[in-house]
Amino acid sequence: MKNKISRKARPQRKIRKGAGQLPSRSASVLVYEEIKKKILQNELDSKKALDEKIFSEEFSTSRTPIREALIMLEKEGLITRQDGKGFTVKQFSMKDIQDLYEFREVNETGMAPAILSKLSAQKLEGLAAILDEVQPLLQKGTPGEILEKSFAFHIKFIELCENSATIEAMKNCHEKILRIAWSCKEEATSVDDYQEHRKILAALEKGDLQELQATIREHIHIARDNALNIVKNNIERLYFFP
């Protein structure tokens, strides 16, 4: 049976403590982080405008930090501004999805030589440790937790290139893909991801550039095709929200 990702209820985060209110900039960063979590985990209805009043009440803060947080999210491409309707969570078209995975393929295969040249035993252990945490989760059938570990694996892998500009761009790309993945993820694909990540780790351990690039490319193509199939066959599932 195919399972959608389970979501555990999280306590609301209060931005105001006691009678005092945090400075606008500090509050806006906290609000930004909380709204971003909701977006990435597909918890907000992409068909409705983001209500600043509701966020203001939820986070016990004024609308100014809410507006500042939304502007930051707009710059990252996670929400869009609609004329006269405020902000909405960005909906990804098939072209958007193709572009994201193409961007991944070009950059992740392209930075493979730099990664191998800077690789160390300690860095390999860091990647292996993440995958070791995934294995028991596979037995419990918790694709949501596995997805979070998968995201951590990808970010750790990207950071191996030690290029700040590349890391920043790739993190933004993976965050957008993460939102799509929350809808596409199933128990079976979680197992596939884990096995593909093990292949990437094995190629790194061998120091084999061609094998590493081929393994990365195959992994990206499989993830891309899964996402595109969701769009073709069940668009509502892509924008599922609880």
**What is the tens place of the pLDDT at every residue in 6-63?**
444 444 455 444 334 445 458 899 999 999 999 988 888 888 899 999 999 999 999 9
Reported pTM: 0.81
Work out the percent of the chain whose per-residue pLDDT is above 90. 60
With 80 as the cut, is the pLDDT of residue 233 above it?
Answer: no
Q: What are phi and psi of 120, to 5 degrees?
A: -140, 165
Q: What are phi and psi of 86, to 5 degrees?
A: 80, -150
Nearest-CA neighbor of 209 among 100, 101, 108? Answer: 108
Q: Where do the domains of the chain lie, and which CATH numbers do they carry?
A: 24-89 (1.10.10.10), 94-238 (1.20.120.530)
Query: Side-chain half-sphere of 139: how many Cα atoms within 13 Å?
Result: 4
Q: Report the 3 state secondary structure along 135-148.
A: HHHHHHCCHHHHHH
Q: Which residue has the higher pLDDT, 238 or 1?
A: 238
Q: Provide the β-strand partners of residue 80.
A: 88
Cβ atoms 89, 50 nearer than 8 A: yes
**What is the tens place of the pLDDT at every residue in 195-218?**
999 999 999 999 999 999 999 999
Alpha helices in the chain (DSSP H): 24-40, 52-58, 63-75, 94-110, 112-117, 121-140, 143-159, 164-184, 187-206, 209-233, 235-238
**What is the tens place of the pLDDT at every residue in 148-194?**
899 999 999 999 999 999 999 999 999 999 888 876 666 667 888 99
